[in-house]
A and B are shown apart, each in its own frame.
Chain A
Amino acid sequence: GDSVTQMEGPVTLSEEAFLTINCTYTATGYPSLFWYVQYPGEGLQLLLKATKADDKGSNKGFEATYRKETTSFHLEKGSVQVSDSAVYFCALSMISGTYKYIFGTGTRLKVLA
């Protein structure tokens, strides 16, 4: 069935390090792909999205490219900050018979000063 797989956390990095959080998906249709972030004590909020193959979503220094050939949507940031510490969720959305919105299990990021 349709699914989203993220790398397990926690991921612990020093400030200014390069970040990659892997996300792969399985889908029978043509999904839109999302990264949501959940800061401590807050609700989920959209970080970026891409709605078709080869699209790149970007926001706040984060980027992810929709790769249909590898069914991936990896999240990257060149230089993380302590304020980026949060839980990151990869998700897909599509209408294939029924509406589907599927989240990964989340990856916790800790950035140390």
Chain B
Amino acid sequence: EAGVVQSPRYKIIEKKQPVAFWCNPISGHNTLYWYLQNLGQGPELLIRYENEEAVDDSQLPKDRFSAERLKGVDSTLKIQPAELGDSAVYLCASSPGGGSTDTQYFGPGTRLTVL
């Protein structure tokens, strides 16, 4: 079974440029999560989807960040415009359901560097 796929793995951009990250979850997983992980820190939840609906986006900085999960399968996270402080690893995870006991399956992440 294929795991969670993310692309690109690495991205270097200049500040004020837009950037997008793509995630394809494990087949059949209804719940998809985007996390931000700063160096030396644990992941922080940005947004959670149940199928195509964003059910928890309270931690997503909506002035510059947006996300979508059309058709309830793969998802895109976008930053426009990027700032220096956005340099981090962006993780995608999925789970079969959205319960608090569910195991999340993580992708390898996209490492973003903003110059």
Task: Assess A94 versus B100: contact at CB under 8 Å? Given A43-B108, A44-B43, A44-B91.
Answer: yes
- Mark contacts of A101-113 with chain B using CB atoms, 8 A cut-off: 1 yes-contact digit, 0 otherwise: 1111110000000
Q: How far is the CA of A98 from the CA of B106 in the complex (A)?
A: 21
Residues on the B chain within 8 Å of A49, using CB: 101, 103
Task: Assess A98 versus B58: contact at CB under 8 Å? Given A42-B108, A93-B100, A105-B42.
Answer: yes
Residues on the A chain within 8 Å of B103, using CB: 34, 46, 49
User: Chain A's nearest CB lies how many Å from the CB of B68?
Assistant: 19
Q: Using a Cβ cutoff of 8 Å, how many contacts connect chains A and B?
A: 57
Residues of B30-59 contacting chain A, CB below 8 A: 33, 40-45, 48, 55-56, 58
User: Chain B's nearest CB lies how many Å from the CB of A45?
Assistant: 7
Q: How far is the CA of A46 from the CA of B101 in the complex (A)?
A: 12
User: Chain B's nearest CB lies how many Å from the CB of A55?
Assistant: 11
Residues of B1-35 contacting chain A, CB below 8 A: 3-4, 33
Determine whether the beta carbon of A43 is less than 8 Å from that of B43.
no
Q: Which of A4, A45, A46, A99 contacts B100 (CB 8 A)?
A: A99
- Mark contacts of A68-89 with chain B using CB atoms, 8 A cut-off: 1 yes-contact digit, 0 otherwise: 0000000000000000000001
Residues of A within 8 A of B (CB): 4, 31-32, 34, 36, 42-46, 49, 51, 89, 91, 93-95, 98-106
